[in-house]
Structure 1
Amino acid sequence: MSYPRHPNAVVLPQPIAVSPLIRFGRWAALGLGVLWGAYRLTVIREYHADIREWEHEKAVAKAAEDAKKKKWLAKDEMRYLMKVVNIPFEEGVAQFGVEDLYREE
């Protein structure tokens, strides 16, 4: 017993026979595209790795400079505080426990 075809069924025509040369050309183009993409990916990765390394070096240098400025500001603040409180410098350094700020590096 055969069932009737559904009215919404899609009826496809027979596939067109494609030449083996065309089929090979398509697959070759796909393979070359994949290889080119892999090559470009490595080139772009190296480029961005160099950029990230440069940005890291710049950030480290900025952090070192900021630490230096912070230490200078702390030194100036301590000197001002000792002047306001009217404590001699050497005694103020010992009292406030900031010998490490004034230690020469």
Structure 2
Amino acid sequence: MSGPPRHPNAVVIQPPTTTISPLIRFGRYTALGLGILYGAVRLRQIREHHADIREWEHEKAVAKAAEAARQKKWLAKEEMRYLMQVVNIPFEEGVAQFGVEDLYREG
């Protein structure tokens, strides 16, 4: 005996073919190659874009640091002027006494 009888509604599937059409194989490898090329080009575009963004952010950070340094110097100048007023020292003498000539130097 060869086993239980087959049901009349059973679907009979043909065995898979072992050979693939050369046209289909060519199409697959062409699509793979084009995908790799597209990915390489797109990666280069994205890298350039992000390099521009990083450069812009760096310029912005440098400008922010320069502005912070300028603000800090201005606050130090104002603090020294206030201190000289409180202590009642003339401006030129106070600058020399406190050793803050570099704060009031132009440039």
TM-score (norm 1): 0.82
Percent identity of paired positions between Structure 1 and Structure 2: 80
Is 1:41 matched with 2:73?
no
Deviations 1:32-53 (CA, angstroms, capped at 9, x unpaired):
0000000001111111111111
Q: Which runs of 5+ in 1 are unaligned?
A: 1-12
- Residue 15 of structure 1: CA displacement? 6.3
Task: State how 1:10-25 maps to structure 2 within 5 Å.
Answer: 16-25=18-27
- Residue 16 of structure 1: CA displacement? 2.5
- Residue 14 of structure 1: CA displacement? 7.1
* Alpha-carbon distance between aligned partners in 2 of 1:74 and 1:22, rounded to the nearest angstrom: 77
The structure number with the bigger radius of gyration is 2
Distance 1:94 1:15, change over 3 A: farther
* Alpha-carbon distance between aligned partners in 2 of 1:20 and 1:57, rounded to the nearest angstrom: 56
Partner of 2:80: 78
Partner of 1:58: 60
Name the Cα RMSD after superposition: 1.4
